[in-house]
Amino acid sequence: MGDMNHDPATPEYQGWVRGGMIDTFGKKGVGPPLTCAVTELTERIDYVFASGPIAGRIKTVRVLNEALFNLDARNPVSYAMSDHLPVMADFEITTHGDSESGKPVSPEQK
């Protein structure tokens, strides 16, 4: 995941995808995808990528566009924590199984 500084049309992004990385927003994103710059959102250059089994457990992904992450144009003293908006991905994680096999584990086996 990260501040990749390239949009989905670039060769760099395509390299991540060819390498097996899944763009979680592309799969389960909700809301506007733009992340930069907070003064005028015009680009999508920040991502949460996933691969392997967890890539199949994406629940929702969204850009955090609320206070502390974005500027409030109505407030002249507002500030943002970065010039980019963060991307948050929720994954479905099971806690009732062996982390290696995914098989159920009884309380006695823990």
Class of domain 2-94: alpha beta
SS3 category, 87: strand
Domains of the chain, by residue range, sit at 2-94
Distance CA 49, CA 47 (A): 6
C-alpha distances out from residue 24 to 1, 42, 77, 110, Å:
10, 20, 34, 32
pLDDT tens, position by position, for the chain (110 residues)? 667 888 999 999 999 999 999 999 999 999 999 999 888 899 999 999 999 999 999 999 999 988 778 877 677 787 788 889 999 999 998 876 555 555 555 555 55
Whole-prediction pTM value? 0.76
